[in-house]
Amino acid sequence: MRVSTISTFLSGLRSMQNLQSSLDQTQRQISSGRRLLVPSDDPIAAGRALELRESVSRLEQFDRNAGIAQNRLSQEEVALKSVNDVLQRVRELALQANNATQSDETRSLIAVELRDRLDYLVQIANQRDGNGQYLFSGNLGDVEPVSRSGSTFTYNGDQGQRLIQIGEGRQVADGDSGADVFFQIRAGNGDFSARAVATNAGTGILDLGSVVDPTAWDQDSYTVRFLAADSYEVVDSSGGVVLTSAFQPGDQIAFRGIEFSISGQPATGDEFTVAPAPYQDMFTSVERLIAAVETTTFDDASRTALTNGINAGLQDLDEAIGSVLDFRTRVGSRLSSIESQVDTNGGLTLALQTTLSSIEDLDYAEALSRLSLQVTTLEAAQQSFVRTQQLSLFNFIR
């Protein structure tokens, strides 16, 4: 086989070019710190790296979502704490007004502060978040949730909740609607509402009452009517007599699974109504409590009406306070779950980044050893090429 001089030259040149290309690849890897410079370096590994980067990006978005939800829920928690503080202050003032030593004038001064607390309660309900959206208007963030016309309060938002995804298959509500927080509250003791009729002439005072047998409580409306100072009857909504009994002040009145007591002495013809607890907004509860505090007293019957009115208002207020506590508990649970999910996302992100690093990042020790070998090989090839290109048959002709 005859090998021409030009073939030898081209073969050596190709060999050095290949070595130079490999050396350049290694140098670029070392300078960038990455094993994969282009997808063609390792198509399978490049595809896997792309999937891992997308997963990391998705987890980072979940964390951003979690931050948004966390900020909004933290603002709601502050608002709910303020609501609780207002209601507790209203309760203190109501108890103060219910003291027998108070006069109409001193109660009117208490009512002034109560109205100020009511205004502040509406202000809290219409609070905005950091983005200028109303906290308690559901999905209608640009709509002021609570409006007032005299003693009537209206909710203008919706009952929706915005769900934000904070993890794979995990969503959390970033707030609560004002309808649920401020308006959907049971009056009375939460099960039924017992009230003294405004025209009562006696001194009968109702207590809170309770459901003692839920299976017997039929959710009907009843009237306790005093036939005489020492006897009464209970009639249902259709006028049927349910119970007739003798009465002594402080006696428990029990029927259809519920019971309550009446202290003092009702007069003949006095009535007390019992009905399933309706939903009532906390603003109306405070408004009615203020109206009770402002009751003018001039005899025993009017003082009894004052006491019954304030006691009824305190029952409604206690239900509102309990409802606010429930929502604060829910918000706290959501904040806790967000923190837990962020920690989980962080662990997953670290694991994915570690795997991605093992695919894409360069092993410097191996690369430097390879670089040294490639440099040595290239230098040897260059020296060999120089020696080879000097060979010619003419060098041996004499």
Q: Which three-class secondary structure string do you get for 148-208?
A: EECCEEEECCCCCCCEEEEECCEEEECCCCHHHHHHCCECCCCCEEEEECCCCCCCCEECC
> Are residues 271 and 283 both part of a single domain?
no
> Are residues 348 and 288 both part of a single domain?
yes
Domain boundary among 245, 278, 311: 278
d(CA 158, CA 149): 19
> Are residues 157 and 286 both part of a single domain?
yes
Domain boundary among 278, 303, 324: 278
> Are residues 11 and 148 both part of a single domain?
no
Q: How large is the average pLDDT for residues 64-73?
A: 93
> Are residues 258 and 326 both part of a single domain?
no
> Are residues 225 and 274 both part of a single domain?
yes
The predicted pLDDT at position 56 comes to 87
Among the ranges given (154-158, 233-237, 334-338, 372-376), the one the predictor scored with the smallest mean pLDDT: 372-376
Domain boundary among 254, 278, 302: 278
> Are residues 88 and 164 both part of a single domain?
yes
The predicted pLDDT at position 184 comes to 93
Instruction: Report how many domains make up the chain.
Output: 3
| Residue 66 binned pLDDT confidence (cut-offs 50, 70, 90) | very high
Q: What is the domain range of residue 16?
A: 1-33+369-398
pLDDT tens figures, 107-143? 999 999 999 999 999 999 999 988 889 999 999 989 9
> Are residues 224 and 267 both part of a single domain?
yes
Q: How large is the average pLDDT for residues 319-331?
A: 95
Residue 148 has pLDDT above 80, yes or no: yes
Amino acid identity at 1: M
CATH number at residue 285: 1.20.1330.10
> Are residues 357 and 396 both part of a single domain?
no
Query: Residue 240: is it exposed, middle or buried by C-beta count within 10 angstroms (0-12/13-18/19+)?
Result: exposed
> Are residues 119 and 62 both part of a single domain?
yes
Length of the chain: 398
The predicted pLDDT at position 353 comes to 77
| Residue 87 binned pLDDT confidence (cut-offs 50, 70, 90) | very high
Please give the share of the chain, as a percent, with pLDDT higher than 70.
77
- Whole-prediction pTM: 0.79
> Are residues 48 and 140 both part of a single domain?
yes
> Are residues 283 and 332 both part of a single domain?
yes
- Partnered with residue 193 across adjacent β-strands are 275
Among the ranges given (10-24, 84-98, 262-276), the one the predictor scored with the smallest mean pLDDT: 10-24
